[in-house]
């Protein structure tokens, strides 16, 4: 697992660890720019699993 917060250039790290191929599956729970980076990290024919999350407003009490 590569932490995108501590490794900003994580797609390049993925490619380096996989001999330039990329991964079969990248799971993304953030979206936005990280979704684009997930696409850069997968191999040709790979998949990006997007798992949307919801945040609920916190009560003031």
Scored b (16 or more CB within 10 A) or e, 21-30 reads ebbeebebee
In 3D space, the residue among 21, 52, 18, 27 whose CA is nearest the CA of residue 37 turns out to be: 27
The per-residue pLDDT for 43 is 97
Q: Parse the chain into domains and list their residue ranges.
A: 10-47
The per-residue pLDDT for 38 is 94
How many residues can be counted in the chain? 61
For residue range 9-44, list pLDDT tens digits in order: 999 999 999 999 999 999 988 888 889 999 999 999
């Amino acid at each position: 697992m590569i932490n995108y917060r501590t490794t900003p250039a994580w797609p390049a790290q993925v490619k380096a660890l996989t001999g330039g191929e990329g991964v079969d599956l990248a799971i993304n729970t953030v979206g936005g720019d990280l979704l684009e980076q997930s696409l850069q990290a997968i191999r040709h024919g790979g998949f990006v699993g997007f798992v949307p999350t919801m945040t609920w407003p916190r009560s003031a009490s």
